[in-house]
Protein backbone atom coordinates (compact mmCIF):
# COMPACT_ATOMS: atom_id res chain seq x y z
CA UNK A 1 0.00 0.00 0.00
CA UNK A 2 1.30 3.43 -0.99
CA UNK A 3 -0.32 6.34 0.84
CA UNK A 4 0.04 10.07 0.21
CA UNK A 5 -1.19 12.12 3.19
CA UNK A 6 -2.43 15.66 2.52
CA UNK A 7 -2.48 18.11 5.43
CA UNK A 8 -0.85 21.31 6.66
CA UNK A 9 2.69 20.01 6.10
CA UNK A 10 5.20 20.66 7.59
CA UNK A 11 2.82 20.69 10.54
CA UNK A 12 1.79 23.80 12.40
CA UNK A 13 0.60 23.33 16.02
CA UNK A 14 -3.08 23.27 14.96
CA UNK A 15 -5.45 20.35 15.29
CA UNK A 16 -5.84 19.40 11.61
CA UNK A 17 -2.09 19.48 11.04
CA UNK A 18 -1.50 17.29 14.09
CA UNK A 19 -4.23 14.90 12.96
CA UNK A 20 -2.53 14.39 9.61
CA UNK A 21 1.00 14.27 10.97
CA UNK A 22 0.21 11.57 13.52
CA UNK A 23 -1.38 9.39 10.83
CA UNK A 24 1.71 9.90 8.67
CA UNK A 25 3.94 9.02 11.63
CA UNK A 26 1.92 5.93 12.52
CA UNK A 27 1.86 4.60 8.95
CA UNK A 28 5.59 5.20 8.55
CA UNK A 29 6.36 3.34 11.77
CA UNK A 30 4.21 0.43 10.55
CA UNK A 31 6.38 0.17 7.46
CA UNK A 32 3.70 1.47 5.09
CA UNK A 33 5.15 3.28 2.07
CA UNK A 34 3.99 6.81 2.96
CA UNK A 35 4.70 10.41 1.98
CA UNK A 36 3.26 13.72 3.22
CA UNK A 37 2.57 16.95 1.33
CA UNK A 38 0.75 20.22 1.97
CA UNK A 39 -2.88 19.89 0.94
CA UNK A 40 -2.83 23.20 -0.96
CA UNK A 41 0.44 22.60 -2.83
CA UNK A 42 -0.93 21.68 -6.26
CA UNK A 43 2.48 21.43 -7.93
CA UNK A 44 4.04 19.20 -5.28
CA UNK A 45 0.96 17.00 -5.09
CA UNK A 46 1.09 16.52 -8.86
CA UNK A 47 4.78 15.66 -8.57
CA UNK A 48 3.95 12.84 -6.16
CA UNK A 49 1.10 11.61 -8.35
CA UNK A 50 3.43 11.30 -11.34
CA UNK A 51 6.44 9.49 -9.85
CA UNK A 52 5.14 7.96 -6.59
CA UNK A 53 1.77 6.85 -7.99
CA UNK A 54 0.05 6.40 -4.62
CA UNK A 55 -2.70 3.81 -4.22
CA UNK A 56 -4.67 6.23 -2.09
CA UNK A 57 -4.52 9.91 -1.17
CA UNK A 58 -5.91 10.62 2.29
CA UNK A 59 -6.59 14.30 2.91
CA UNK A 60 -7.27 15.93 6.27
CA UNK A 61 -9.70 18.84 6.44
CA UNK A 62 -13.39 19.71 6.37
CA UNK A 63 -15.96 19.51 3.55
CA UNK A 64 -14.92 22.93 2.23
CA UNK A 65 -11.51 21.48 1.33
CA UNK A 66 -13.10 19.10 -1.22
CA UNK A 67 -11.37 20.82 -4.19
CA UNK A 68 -7.92 20.27 -2.66
CA UNK A 69 -8.53 16.86 -1.06
CA UNK A 70 -10.81 15.16 -3.60
CA UNK A 71 -11.06 16.92 -6.96
CA UNK A 72 -7.33 17.52 -7.39
CA UNK A 73 -6.20 13.88 -7.04
CA UNK A 74 -9.17 12.73 -9.15
CA UNK A 75 -7.89 14.89 -12.03
CA UNK A 76 -4.84 12.64 -12.15
CA UNK A 77 -6.67 9.33 -11.72
CA UNK A 78 -5.68 8.90 -8.06
CA UNK A 79 -8.13 7.55 -5.46
CA UNK A 80 -8.91 10.16 -2.77
CA UNK A 81 -10.11 9.32 0.73
CA UNK A 82 -10.96 12.50 2.65
CA UNK A 83 -10.69 12.38 6.45
CA UNK A 84 -13.09 15.09 7.48
CA UNK A 85 -14.30 17.11 10.43
CA UNK A 86 -17.56 19.10 10.54
CA UNK A 87 -18.28 22.74 11.31
CA UNK A 88 -21.97 22.44 12.08
CA UNK A 89 -23.35 22.21 8.53
CA UNK A 90 -22.20 20.59 5.28
CA UNK A 91 -23.32 23.14 2.70
CA UNK A 92 -21.78 21.94 -0.56
CA UNK A 93 -20.07 19.16 -2.53
CA UNK A 94 -22.63 16.47 -1.61
CA UNK A 95 -22.67 15.04 -5.15
CA UNK A 96 -18.88 14.83 -5.28
CA UNK A 97 -18.60 13.26 -1.83
CA UNK A 98 -21.38 10.75 -2.51
CA UNK A 99 -19.53 9.55 -5.62
CA UNK A 100 -16.59 8.43 -3.45
CA UNK A 101 -16.28 4.83 -2.24
CA UNK A 102 -15.08 5.91 1.22
CA UNK A 103 -15.14 8.98 3.47
CA UNK A 104 -13.45 9.00 6.88
CA UNK A 105 -14.76 11.19 9.70
CA UNK A 106 -13.43 11.83 13.20
CA UNK A 107 -16.44 10.84 15.33
CA UNK A 108 -19.93 9.39 15.25
CA UNK A 109 -21.34 12.89 15.74
CA UNK A 110 -19.52 14.12 12.63
CA UNK A 111 -20.91 11.10 10.77
CA UNK A 112 -24.42 12.07 11.89
CA UNK A 113 -23.89 15.62 10.63
CA UNK A 114 -22.79 14.40 7.19
CA UNK A 115 -25.71 11.99 6.93
CA UNK A 116 -28.13 14.73 8.04
CA UNK A 117 -26.81 16.99 5.29
CA UNK A 118 -27.09 14.50 2.46
CA UNK A 119 -24.06 12.18 2.51
CA UNK A 120 -24.75 8.45 2.18
CA UNK A 121 -24.19 6.59 5.45
CA UNK A 122 -22.70 3.55 3.67
CA UNK A 123 -19.78 5.67 2.44
CA UNK A 124 -18.73 6.92 5.90
CA UNK A 125 -16.37 5.25 8.38
CA UNK A 126 -15.33 6.70 11.75
CA UNK A 127 -11.58 7.00 12.35
CA UNK A 128 -10.69 8.94 15.51
CA UNK A 129 -7.81 11.38 15.71
CA UNK A 130 -4.56 9.90 17.04
CA UNK A 131 -2.71 10.91 20.19
CA UNK A 132 1.03 10.61 20.84
CA UNK A 133 0.78 8.85 24.19
CA UNK A 134 4.57 8.69 24.45
CA UNK A 135 4.72 12.49 24.68
CA UNK A 136 1.37 13.08 26.34
CA UNK A 137 1.82 11.12 29.55
CA UNK A 138 1.56 11.66 33.30
CA UNK A 139 4.33 13.76 34.85
CA UNK A 140 5.43 14.00 38.45
CA UNK A 141 4.03 17.20 39.98
CA UNK A 142 7.57 18.12 41.11
CA UNK A 143 9.12 17.63 37.67
CA UNK A 144 11.19 20.81 37.04
CA UNK A 145 9.52 21.29 33.64
CA UNK A 146 6.06 21.14 35.20
CA UNK A 147 7.03 23.48 38.02
CA UNK A 148 8.48 25.91 35.47
CA UNK A 149 5.21 26.00 33.50
CA UNK A 150 3.15 26.75 36.60
CA UNK A 151 5.58 29.42 37.75
CA UNK A 152 5.60 31.10 34.34
CA UNK A 153 1.79 31.19 34.39
CA UNK A 154 1.70 32.67 37.88
CA UNK A 155 0.18 29.56 39.45
CA UNK A 156 1.32 28.96 43.03
CA UNK A 157 2.03 25.43 44.33
CA UNK A 158 -1.10 25.35 46.48
CA UNK A 159 -3.46 26.54 43.75
CA UNK A 160 -5.70 24.23 41.73
CA UNK A 161 -4.90 24.95 38.09
CA UNK A 162 -7.83 24.65 35.68
CA UNK A 163 -6.88 24.76 32.00
CA UNK A 164 -8.65 25.34 28.68
CA UNK A 165 -6.83 25.22 25.32
CA UNK A 166 -8.17 26.38 21.96
CA UNK A 167 -7.85 28.70 19.00
CA UNK A 168 -10.02 30.89 21.17
CA UNK A 169 -11.29 30.04 24.64
CA UNK A 170 -14.98 30.89 24.25
CA UNK A 171 -15.54 28.19 21.61
CA UNK A 172 -14.13 25.69 24.08
CA UNK A 173 -16.64 26.73 26.73
CA UNK A 174 -14.46 29.12 28.73
CA UNK A 175 -17.26 31.61 29.37
CA UNK A 176 -19.40 28.84 30.84
CA UNK A 177 -16.44 27.70 32.97
CA UNK A 178 -15.91 31.26 34.25
CA UNK A 179 -19.57 31.58 35.18
CA UNK A 180 -19.30 28.28 37.05
CA UNK A 181 -16.15 29.40 38.88
CA UNK A 182 -17.89 32.59 39.94
CA UNK A 183 -20.65 30.48 41.52
CA UNK A 184 -18.25 28.38 43.61
CA UNK A 185 -15.49 30.96 44.12
CA UNK A 186 -16.11 31.66 47.83
CA UNK A 187 -16.29 28.00 48.88
CA UNK A 188 -13.78 26.44 46.47
CA UNK A 189 -10.08 25.85 47.26
CA UNK A 190 -7.59 28.41 45.99
CA UNK A 191 -7.68 28.21 42.18
CA UNK A 192 -6.31 29.71 38.97
CA UNK A 193 -8.01 29.46 35.58
CA UNK A 194 -5.63 29.47 32.59
CA UNK A 195 -6.86 29.84 29.01
CA UNK A 196 -4.25 29.08 26.33
CA UNK A 197 -5.31 30.63 23.04
CA UNK A 198 -3.58 31.25 19.71
CA UNK A 199 -2.46 34.79 18.77
CA UNK A 200 -4.65 35.86 15.86
CA UNK A 201 -6.85 38.91 15.16
CA UNK A 202 -10.21 37.25 15.90
CA UNK A 203 -8.79 35.78 19.12
CA UNK A 204 -7.74 39.22 20.39
CA UNK A 205 -11.30 40.46 20.09
CA UNK A 206 -12.69 37.37 21.81
CA UNK A 207 -10.07 37.57 24.57
CA UNK A 208 -11.19 41.09 25.44
CA UNK A 209 -14.80 39.96 25.63
CA UNK A 210 -13.86 37.02 27.84
CA UNK A 211 -11.74 39.11 30.18
CA UNK A 212 -14.52 41.67 30.39
CA UNK A 213 -16.81 38.88 31.53
CA UNK A 214 -14.25 37.77 34.13
CA UNK A 215 -14.16 41.32 35.48
CA UNK A 216 -17.94 41.54 35.62
CA UNK A 217 -18.00 38.22 37.49
CA UNK A 218 -15.38 39.49 39.95
CA UNK A 219 -12.87 36.67 39.27
CA UNK A 220 -10.43 38.52 36.98
CA UNK A 221 -7.52 38.15 39.44
CA UNK A 222 -7.75 34.37 39.14
CA UNK A 223 -8.08 34.23 35.34
CA UNK A 224 -5.03 34.22 33.06
CA UNK A 225 -5.00 34.31 29.26
CA UNK A 226 -1.81 32.96 27.67
CA UNK A 227 -1.52 34.11 24.04
CA UNK A 228 2.02 33.13 23.08
CA UNK A 229 2.82 31.01 20.05
CA UNK A 230 3.93 27.59 21.27
CA UNK A 231 4.99 24.32 19.65
CA UNK A 232 3.55 20.85 20.06
CA UNK A 233 6.65 20.01 22.14
CA UNK A 234 5.39 22.31 24.91
CA UNK A 235 1.80 21.06 24.95
CA UNK A 236 2.35 17.92 27.10
CA UNK A 237 3.97 20.02 29.83
CA UNK A 238 1.22 22.62 29.69
CA UNK A 239 -1.38 19.89 30.16
CA UNK A 240 0.82 18.18 32.73
CA UNK A 241 0.90 21.36 34.79
CA UNK A 242 -2.86 21.57 35.27
CA UNK A 243 -5.02 19.76 37.81
CA UNK A 244 -8.26 19.81 35.81
CA UNK A 245 -8.79 20.21 32.08
CA UNK A 246 -12.08 22.01 31.44
CA UNK A 247 -13.43 22.33 27.91
CA UNK A 248 -17.22 21.93 27.63
CA UNK A 249 -16.92 23.03 24.02
CA UNK A 250 -19.63 24.79 22.06
CA UNK A 251 -18.73 22.85 18.89
CA UNK A 252 -16.44 19.82 18.94
CA UNK A 253 -16.16 17.17 16.25
CA UNK A 254 -13.59 15.18 18.22
CA UNK A 255 -11.87 16.96 21.09
CA UNK A 256 -8.15 16.33 20.71
CA UNK A 257 -7.05 18.34 23.80
CA UNK A 258 -9.55 16.41 25.94
CA UNK A 259 -7.95 13.13 24.81
CA UNK A 260 -4.44 14.54 25.31
CA UNK A 261 -5.39 15.70 28.81
CA UNK A 262 -6.60 12.20 29.59
CA UNK A 263 -3.35 10.76 28.24
CA UNK A 264 -1.54 13.07 30.70
CA UNK A 265 -3.62 11.62 33.54
CA UNK A 266 -5.87 14.65 34.00
CA UNK A 267 -9.62 14.58 34.71
CA UNK A 268 -11.70 16.37 32.11
CA UNK A 269 -14.86 18.44 32.22
CA UNK A 270 -16.70 18.28 28.90
CA UNK A 271 -20.20 18.48 27.50
CA UNK A 272 -22.50 15.52 26.99
CA UNK A 273 -22.72 16.00 23.22
CA UNK A 274 -20.89 15.83 19.88
CA UNK A 275 -17.47 14.20 19.55
CA UNK A 276 -16.98 13.95 23.30
CA UNK A 277 -19.57 11.18 23.39
CA UNK A 278 -16.89 9.07 21.65
CA UNK A 279 -13.84 10.22 23.56
CA UNK A 280 -15.00 10.65 27.19
CA UNK A 281 -16.81 8.37 29.64
CA UNK A 282 -19.10 10.10 32.10
CA UNK A 283 -18.04 9.58 35.70
CA UNK A 284 -15.00 7.51 34.74
CA UNK A 285 -12.61 9.60 32.64
CA UNK A 286 -14.58 12.85 32.74
CA UNK A 287 -17.58 14.75 34.00
CA UNK A 288 -19.80 15.76 31.09
CA UNK A 289 -22.16 18.67 31.72
CA UNK A 290 -25.59 18.37 30.15
CA UNK A 291 -26.56 20.57 27.22
CA UNK A 292 -28.33 23.65 28.53
CA UNK A 293 -29.01 25.31 25.19
CA UNK A 294 -28.65 24.75 21.47
CA UNK A 295 -28.00 27.65 19.13
CA UNK A 296 -30.30 27.16 16.12
CA UNK A 297 -30.29 29.07 12.82
CA UNK A 298 -32.66 29.18 9.84
CA UNK A 299 -30.09 30.32 7.30
CA UNK A 300 -26.36 30.87 6.75
CA UNK A 301 -24.30 33.14 4.50
CA UNK A 302 -21.43 31.40 2.69
CA UNK A 303 -18.77 32.39 0.20
CA UNK A 304 -15.88 31.18 -1.95
CA UNK A 305 -14.36 29.20 0.93
CA UNK A 306 -17.37 26.88 0.59
CA UNK A 307 -17.47 26.77 -3.20
CA UNK A 308 -20.13 29.48 -3.60
CA UNK A 309 -20.16 33.05 -4.83
CA UNK A 310 -19.72 35.67 -2.11
CA UNK A 311 -22.68 36.26 0.22
CA UNK A 312 -24.48 33.12 -0.94
CA UNK A 313 -27.51 32.52 1.29
CA UNK A 314 -28.61 29.01 2.23
CA UNK A 315 -32.06 28.75 3.78
CA UNK A 316 -32.74 25.52 5.67
CA UNK A 317 -35.93 23.50 5.31
CA UNK A 318 -35.56 22.75 8.99
CA UNK A 319 -33.58 24.89 11.47
CA UNK A 320 -30.05 23.59 12.17
CA UNK A 321 -28.16 23.45 15.46
CA UNK A 322 -24.80 25.14 14.94
CA UNK A 323 -23.62 25.58 18.54
CA UNK A 324 -24.15 24.15 22.02
CA UNK A 325 -23.93 25.59 25.52
CA UNK A 326 -23.12 23.44 28.55
CA UNK A 327 -24.99 23.73 31.85
CA UNK A 328 -23.17 26.21 34.07
CA UNK A 329 -24.65 24.61 37.18
CA UNK A 330 -23.33 21.21 36.12
CA UNK A 331 -19.88 22.63 35.45
CA UNK A 332 -19.87 24.30 38.88
CA UNK A 333 -20.90 21.06 40.57
CA UNK A 334 -18.27 19.00 38.76
CA UNK A 335 -15.52 21.57 39.32
CA UNK A 336 -16.25 21.63 43.04
CA UNK A 337 -16.22 17.86 43.20
CA UNK A 338 -12.84 17.60 41.47
CA UNK A 339 -11.24 20.58 43.21
CA UNK A 340 -11.98 19.19 46.67
CA UNK A 341 -11.15 15.54 45.96
CA UNK A 342 -7.57 14.80 44.90
CA UNK A 343 -8.02 10.98 44.95
CA UNK A 344 -10.93 11.38 42.52
CA UNK A 345 -8.79 13.51 40.22
CA UNK A 346 -6.11 10.84 40.26
CA UNK A 347 -8.60 8.01 39.68
CA UNK A 348 -10.25 9.72 36.72
CA UNK A 349 -6.87 10.72 35.31
CA UNK A 350 -5.68 7.12 35.45
CA UNK A 351 -8.81 5.95 33.62
CA UNK A 352 -8.34 8.68 31.02
CA UNK A 353 -4.76 7.57 30.44
CA UNK A 354 -5.81 3.94 29.95
CA UNK A 355 -8.53 4.91 27.49
CA UNK A 356 -6.22 7.15 25.48
CA UNK A 357 -3.61 4.41 25.14
CA UNK A 358 -6.13 1.72 24.19
CA UNK A 359 -8.27 3.61 21.68
CA UNK A 360 -6.56 6.80 20.54
CA UNK A 361 -2.82 6.12 20.40
CA UNK A 362 -1.64 7.17 16.94
CA UNK A 363 -0.32 3.66 16.22
CA UNK A 364 -3.75 2.18 16.94
CA UNK A 365 -5.33 4.75 14.62
CA UNK A 366 -2.83 3.96 11.85
CA UNK A 367 -3.56 0.22 12.12
CA UNK A 368 -7.28 0.91 11.96
CA UNK A 369 -6.74 3.11 8.89
CA UNK A 370 -4.93 0.30 7.08
CA UNK A 371 -7.69 -2.12 8.06
CA UNK A 372 -10.44 0.17 6.74
CA UNK A 373 -8.63 0.83 3.46
CA UNK A 374 -8.15 -2.91 2.99
CA UNK A 375 -11.75 -3.78 3.81
CA UNK A 376 -13.45 -0.95 1.89
CA UNK A 377 -11.14 -0.46 -1.08
CA UNK A 378 -9.33 -3.78 -1.31
CA UNK A 379 -5.94 -2.07 -1.15
CA UNK A 380 -3.31 -4.01 0.77
64 preceded by cis ω (within 30°)? no
Comparing CA positions, the residue from 133, 106, 182, 179 lying closest to residue 327 is 179
Evaluate whether 2-130+361-377 and 144-290+327-359 have a shared fold.
yes
> For residue 145, what is the enclosing H or E element?
helix 144-152
CATH H superfamily, domain 2-130+361-377? Glycogen Phosphorylase B; (3.40.50.2000)
Q: CA 227, CA 295: separation in Å to the nearest integer?
A: 28
Domain ranges (residues) in the chain: 2-130+361-377, 144-290+327-359
Q: CA 241, CA 145: separation in Å to the nearest integer?
A: 9
CATH H superfamily, domain 144-290+327-359? Glycogen Phosphorylase B; (3.40.50.2000)
Strand 291-302 versus strand 312-326 pairing type = antiparallel
Per-residue pLDDT for the chain (380 aa), expressed as one digit of tens each? 999 999 999 998 889 999 999 999 999 999 999 999 999 999 999 999 999 999 999 999 999 999 999 999 999 999 999 999 987 778 889 999 999 999 999 999 999 999 999 999 999 999 999 999 999 999 999 999 999 999 999 999 999 999 999 999 999 999 999 999 999 999 999 999 999 998 888 778 888 999 999 999 999 999 999 998 889 999 999 999 999 999 999 999 999 999 999 999 999 999 999 999 999 999 999 999 999 999 998 887 877 777 778 888 888 878 888 899 999 999 999 999 999 999 999 999 999 999 999 999 999 999 999 999 999 999 99
pTM here is 0.94
Q: Helix, strand or coil for residue 264? A: coil
At residue 245, φ and ψ (nearest 5 deg) are -100, 120
**Residue 343, Cβ density class (10 Å: 0-12 exposed, 13-18 middle, ≥19 buried):** exposed
Amino acid sequence: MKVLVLYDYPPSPGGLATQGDLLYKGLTEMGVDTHAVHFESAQEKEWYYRWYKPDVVVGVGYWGHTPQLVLHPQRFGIQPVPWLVADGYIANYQEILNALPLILVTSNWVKEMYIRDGIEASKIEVLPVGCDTDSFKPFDKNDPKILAVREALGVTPEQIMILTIGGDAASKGAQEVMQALAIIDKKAPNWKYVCKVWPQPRTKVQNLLDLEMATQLGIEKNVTYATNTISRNFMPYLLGACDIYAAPSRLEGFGMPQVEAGACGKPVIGINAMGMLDTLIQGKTAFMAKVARQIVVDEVILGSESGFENKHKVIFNQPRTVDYRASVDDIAKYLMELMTNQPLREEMGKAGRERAVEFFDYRVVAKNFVQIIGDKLGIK
